[in-house]
Structure 1
């Protein structure tokens, strides 16, 4: 049964008690190219350089599972990228998985933009509130659909049907799908799908 997703973003992030600086996408990419940040796992969200959440085996295994499923499902002209940058006007997020138009050769000298992405997917173990806030970032980037694979509640939160409201893009449809409900993907007019159970790990015995 489909349910509406609660997307309350009223909780504001804590701000440090000292001056901070927002960065443009161009500045962030220059910093990344110069390897100033070393091995730090970060992404640019709405102009802020923020650390990525610490991953565990459940998270990484689920990402691998989704990638494997998509490799078998996707038609020519589309492929799955894992934890790699996509560029928007003010952000450079790195979704856990993205279904991207083209081939890897198309992105040797540039990152994909939101319009190149059919679905961005985040896997949430303990990061659900942060991942829900990302819905507005992916919408403004022009990503057609956004899924949050919610491992705690064993469901997939789906954001799609992009609309522009006073020049601001947002997802007009938000649902919670479970069990054998289908996650639909549209690629150049071609429909394909997975079930929620396919992208979720098996439940722990006794849970």
Structure 2
């Protein structure tokens, strides 16, 4: 008997929990709280099981975000639970995602940030705690507006220090702290 995949709502709920606890709760992205509170984040779960399907969903979401009123949808999280499970495949996919962005003439208007359950920065070991700054419950393509990023960076004078501060936050938290943070109140 096949194992049923989690429902889209379960996937969105898990992603929102990660966003609230890790990204906002640890202040990994000081810009995330405002769009979350204003409900300007679009959560889309891709049913794609291969890279072609993910690219098709990505194209739809890039066009949707580009055409949307920023006051309604400022950013999109395209969640990919059934494809790109291997980090190296996901990382390779980002090349094609960037090519798609350019082919749609949206480079400089939108950008794609990457999150994955097994995210690893170049030169790091897979279990290095610093990698957890970009670890999410599912592979995620985060679509952002360049204008929104520019406004956020202008309002946050030390934006260039975010990367280092996030790594220090993760080192202080440690693996046990991360596990506790992600499982509090989830019944696991």
Return the TM-score normalized by structure 1. 0.32
Q: Structure 1 or 2: larger strand share?
A: 1
